[in-house]
Every structure is written in structure tokens, then in C-alpha cells.
Chain A
């Protein structure tokens, strides 16, 4: 989640109160304070509230929450007369364009950094790493309107930001750091998006990089904003958030004509919500007046529309309001989470363990009673553990993760025994005898199965110990088994057996093969048992999805 740096001096000025009050209330409007420093605080805001990714946005919300200024913040937009055309060839590449002109900005080093921070946070939260939306901010006075958003030949060239020479679009994707980072978004298309001015000079190669020509500096007074993307709503949201943040600094927002429409309109949207619904959700009685005044604190315009309804005007920058409950949550925040009288519901129900968990609990009890200590191995493992070191073939049903983090964790375990031997290896320095067990899920194909396994290692560990443990465990779990010769290569021939129940092999036991012991660097014999707990009477069957 994006971390926003808020300098107290500027924040105090914008909010109109002291830092202590602000710091105490930041978590209550929905944020995690990361670090409190001498002159600033780093705050993580929720991804649902990109309007809080700038100091201006935070100040706006804070003024409402503290009751300094409530209701809808109003923004006026006048036409700039500037036209911005969209090439129909972009329809399959990156079809949507948003734009605005912002005049009379006063930029210093701090506010340029803040604007870049907002832009990056929006790229992450709204733009999904620039694929859905990318934002460009330009010095308007360096270029000549009208502007055109075109699908350009890959051989077009311009000087990208931070470079001093012309490069073709393909060269930028290959050589520019931003090109390499974002090439995947456009590289499959025959043509690339490009923004040019009336004299065909390049402003931007969205979503990759701006041109050096329109670099924003402390001398820049008028800005041109471009947002391009694949989602119309997200493209508009990015424009609203940047325009309102800049307007809060005293700048003037002007619209641009795109396809005959003026963009942006910073007008609110409207929703009629029921105060009865709000009361039912939150558990506090709220009439339309009470609900309205809570919402005013959250920077909505809200007024009773009849006894039990409220007409709510939602600021354009609130991209997260999708449903009435989103508005009710804001009412709850304004009410104060600490103010709610927490109460247990009177719902009467009788609890019950899940049958598989109940089987696991008894398996643990029996294994512990037999003198074994429980371990909790990982479920992610690898082929060497499951197969190579065990002298076993890898099961056909083994599940591989598509993009493993490391070579150690490439598949999901199909058995528990190999992981117990790995555990013995890790504990070679510990006193013998070691008797370890694990109960838990294994996976075959897309199905999950419950298992139990144990190992015993000491100078006298042998087949009879394994046989006795397998027998005792099956008796205690009420699994009727017969035994037959096993051909499991992890065990010594003639010292291994299969547990058979209902005509199906449900387990294996015996003395581990010395070659397997060598592979695990174990120096003492190991008696081992593994059993499939689906054989336990009362096992509820596969846990399918509805």
C-alpha cells in the first residue's frame, strides 16, 4: 500500500489545527501510521481511498472529520478552449483519454515531490501498475494546442525524460529504465500510444514516459494533465483526484474538449439512501437528520429526503462509493468506532467440530500416547524431498505451483513421511531416541486428503516397532486393516508392509531403506508408518465445493 509523507507545517496550515490533534485522528479516518518523525509523518492509506494519497486530500477529509469544514467541497471548472483528439486506431490499444488544464500553480521542490508521489500512488492503486491508467503531467506553456492522442509508428522518435537524445519508441522500451519496466503493457501492439501537440512535438509516450520537452519545474505555472488507459471510470477517477488536490492548493481547473465533451466535470454524483437501512446495518438508531449530519462530516452533501431517506451528493474523487453500505461505513466512521456500544448478539447456536478435525485430534492423542512428539512441517516442498531422497517415483497427481519462490518449494506435499525424515535430518544433533509424528493435509490433484505419519529413530528401531505402532494406531482409530507385502522402495525389502482396508491400500509401514537413510544423512535405523485417514470410519468424504 502506498505510504504518503505528510509534512506537519503544510498539513497544519491546510487543516487549520495542530499536529497532535491530526496525529490522534489519522487512524480514525482510515489509515495506518507508519512512522512519526520530527517534521513529518509517514502514513499508509487504504487502497480504496486514493483521494487520500495527497496531503491536500488528507487535509480535506480531516477538516470534515474534525468539524472544521463539513459538506461537499465545491470545485468550479471553466472551459480552456483547448481541444484534444483521440485516434480511433487506439480502440484496441489504449482507448480512453482524460485531461484537464490547471492554471496558476505555485510549485516548489516539496510540492513537485508531493505531486509525483500522488501520481505514483495512483499508478499503483487505480492504474494497476500503469496498465489500467497512466498519468502524465506537462508544462502547458512548452507546447501548442490542440493536442492529439494517436496510435504511432514504432519508429517515431523523441527525447524522453531524463535523456538528452532522441530515441525511437522501440529504443525507449529497450533502453530507458521506465521503458524496460512497463514495456509489457504495450509491446504486443503493432502501434504505440503517443501524445503530440499542434506542431507534432511529442508530449508523452503513455504509459511509459513523458518527453523532456514538457518537464515540470518550479517555474512551471500552467499544467496539462493527460490520463490514458483501458478503463473509462478509472481514467476519470485519476483526473478528479489530481485536479481536486491541485485546486485545494489554489490553482484553477479548466476543462479540455475531448470528442466534443468537456473534461473534466468535477460535479458530484447523487445517491438516495435509506436511514433505516443504515440503522439496521450499524445497530444504532439514525433518522434521516442524524445520518445527514454524520455524512456532512465525511464531506458529502446530505439532506433528509423524507422521513427515512437521505439524498447524498458524493464528491467526484470518491471512487470507492459503489454501494449504499459504502456510505453507511462513512457514517460509522463519523459516529466514531470507539463510540459504538459493542454488544453480543443473542443468536443461539450449538458448536461442533468438523469430523476431519475431530479425527485429527484423536490421531494426535494416540500418537502422543504412543510416545511421539508432534511436528508441523510445511506443505510446500520439492521433488527431491518427496521422490529422489525417498527412492520413490514422484506421484502423477503431484501438484506443482506455477511460479515457485524457490527451488525448495515447487510442489505441494503428497505424503508426510518424507517431511518427517527431513525433520529428523534437521534434528540430528538432538538426543535419541527421536519419535516424531505429523497429522495434516496432503494434496493429490486438486483434492485434499488427511494423513498421519510417524517415525522413530534410535539404535534399536526396527520393523517390529513400526508394525506394532501401525497396529496400535489402527486399533485406536478403529480402522480394520489387514497387512500385505509392500513394494515401497523407501523401505527395506522384507521389512515393509502395506495396510489394506476395504480392498484399498491405506498405509505403509516398516524399516526405512539404508540408502534413504544415507540420502537424509541419518545414522540410525528408522521405523516409520504413514496412514491415510480417509480410511477412518466417519470420515465425511471429499470436501468438494458447492
Chain B
């Protein structure tokens, strides 16, 4: 019973955080919009046109998109950690984000060259292809390297290679779109349109519901493959689903926001601490909520700290996320030496 009230309290905290982050993201910025005005705008009442434009055209889509993508990143990280039984696996450390980014950059530059517009779905498809390429490579590596730390090292290296290719492409891409492309390739939630938001939510929401439906098999998988198999889990099918879902989630983020580091590691870890359990049925919704609030908070800092200059989102997430990774590694080492 004590556990149950802890879970409820933890969910309340996450909901409040998310609500506060959403409100703050809509209200705060180079022009602050009073909360009462925001309310009026959302309710469709009479309001200042300037405010209406800022809220409806810029801040609200950005906040909604950012929230979904933050949730997706955290969830994707959680799935990869489960899959590889490694607490510091994430779309970023395994190079999956960078792979997605590379293919998206190539697609964009190709489209610019032939002056075509890439649709939201096209972006996601490109990112998914890139994510799958890197994922395939990492899984292949995991068959050869025994040590989990080596897997992460190889993932980081793949990430660097993909980033190098992306930089190369971006540097030599011509004309004015280069500014946009440059922003995106550094990681940013800016410039998200309502059209993007709709696609982002459809994809991420569907994938997340699928993940939630898999919470029972995930709990079996946490006991290790041999026992999971004995419990009646179809391991090959399960692994394929896990890989697909985590790739879709991280690809969707990479397509619209570029690389966002550390959310995938830090948020699942902090959420587990908050709940005091790793049960998938709780962790899946909790990671999503946590990731959404974490990313909104970081985005707020990214665009308001040195306004009007905007920091890349990764700069801020790294400041908060990297220390968490260090703590996890130190703790892991201590536990290994104990046993």
C-alpha cells in the first residue's frame, strides 16, 4: 500500500511538472504573454493579435512538439536499455540519432538540389531508414563484443562518423536554407509547424501505446533471455518489435529536432529513482511524462538564457544529463566491485 501511494504521488509530480513546463514555454520568451491572455487565446476569446500569433504560430506548436519528442526520446532510451541490458544505452550513445540525422540531411540536401519540398512523413521515413542502418550495425556489433562498455564505445564512434558526414553535407549545401539546416543539425525544437506537430503526435502516440501494450513481455525480458523464454516469451519477435519501436521513436525526434543528447539516459534513470521500481507498466508512462517535462524545461532555458541567441537543445540537455550518466557509471562500478 505504501508503494501504491508512492506511485500515485510520483505520477502527480510528473503531471504537475509537465503542466508547469507547458505553461512556462507558452508564456515566457522575448515577449512575455500573460497567462490570462494565453487562456483567452486558447478558449478562442478576444485577444491581442500579436500575442495570438506568438502563441498559436510559434510557442504552442513548439511546446507540443517538444513535449512529444522529449517523451519519445526517454521512452526510446528506456527500450534500448532494456534491450541491451545496459543502463547507459540510448539513441544518442548508440549512434542511432546520428544515423537518422545523417540520412535526413542527405534527403534534405537532395531535395534542395532538385528544389523539392520534403514532407513531414518523408522526413520521418528518411530518419527511420538512418536509425535502422545504425541499429543494425550496433546489433551486429553486440554479437561480437562481450563487454557492454565496448558496445557503447562503438555506438559513439558510429555517431561521430554519421555526424561527420552530416557536417560535410551541410557545409557544402548551398544557398540560404543552409542556416535552417545548420540549426537543425545542431539540435533544436525551433520552426515546428502545426503540420509537423500533427505528424509527430500521430507517430509518437501510436508507437508509445504499442510500447505500453508490451509492458508485460518487457517485464519478462528484464529477467534475462533464458528465463523470459521459459515464461513463454517469443524472443525473436519481441526483439524485432523492440528494435522497431525504439527506432521509430528516436527517428521521429531526429527528423524534426535533430540530435538531442542524454535525455534517453537521464530521464529513465531519474524516473526509476523517483518511483523506486523499474516495472515497465509504470516506467513507460512515467518516462514519457518525465521526458516531455525535461525537454520542455531544457528548451525553455535554451531559448531564453541568452535571448535572442538560441542555444542548441543538446547543449542544455547535456549539462543536466551528463552528470546523471557519470553517477550511473560510478554506481555500476561500485556494485561490480562489491559483488
Same complex for A and B? Answer no
Enumerate chain B interface residues (CB-CB to A < 8 A): none
